[in-house]
Amino acid sequence: MDPQIVIEPGQVEWRINCRPVDYCAAIAEMEERVAAIRAGTASELVWLLEHPPLYTAGTSARNEDLLEPNRLPVHHTGRGGRYTYHGPGQRIAYVMLDLRQRGQDVRCYVHQLEEWAIRMLARFGVDGERRAGRVGIWVARADGREEKIAAIGVRVRQWVTYHGVALNIDPELEDYRGIIPCGITEHGVTSLAALGVAATMGEVDTALRATFSEVFDDVRPAGRPK
C-alpha cells in the first residue's frame, strides 16, 4: 500500500511513502497538516518519503548557484537555505511538530534535527558531524575531505514546524553538479552508499524511528487530539 500510515496513539504519527511523491503535492499536504496541528485537530507528524529528481530553491537561493537550469525541474520553496537536490535514494523526513508544546525554541529544534541525523548515521557506523557556519551534517574522509551527507531546511508557522531533513542513502550524486549545494563550493556531497554502507530504505526508516524517540521524547505533547 502507498502510502503506509503508522499511527501511535498519544504520540507522533508516522507516515511512510514507498514511491516518490510529487514535490508540489507534498508541500500542499504539509501546509494543510500544519494548519490542522495549529488548530488542534491533528496530531504531530513525521513523514518519510522520496521525491522525483528536482532542485529546490530556499529563501536565500541565489541565481548564480543554479549551474545547469535545464538539468532538472526547479521548485521555489519557503524553507530556509539555498539550492538543494532531491531524488530517489534520498530519504526525506518532513517533520511537523508543535513547538508550543516543545519549548518554543527554534534554534534548539534545529539542533535536535541535527542530533537526530547524527544518531541515525551512527547506527550504520558513520560519524556525522556539525560544522560551525555550515548547515547540515558532514562526514570527514580519511584524506581530509569533508562532504555533506544530510541537508537541513526548516520553516516554522505559528510555532508549528515543517520541511526537515534530507539524508543521502544512495541518490544519484551526479545530479548535484547542476547546483552549488547550499551555496558551498569548497566541499563535496556524499551518501551512505558512497561511503561503502549498504543500507536499505527500510533499515534507515527503522533507525530514524528509534533515534527520533531518543532525541525528541524529552519534551512530548500531552496527547493526540480527540
Domain layout of the chain by residue ranges: 4-216
Cβ–Cβ under 8 Å, residues 109 and 154: yes
> Which parts of the chain are beta strand (E)?
4-6, 13-16, 45-49, 54-57, 74-76, 83-86, 90-96, 129-131, 134-140, 146-157, 160-168, 188-189
Instruction: For residue 198, give the C-alpha cell.
Output: 549498504
Higher pLDDT, 178 or 92: 92
User: What's the pTM?
Assistant: 0.88
CATH code given to domain 4-216 = 3.30.930.10
Instruction: State pLDDT tens for residues 11-45.
Output: 799 999 989 999 999 999 999 999 999 999 999 99
Active site residues: 182
Instruction: For residue 204, give the C-alpha cell.
Output: 534507515
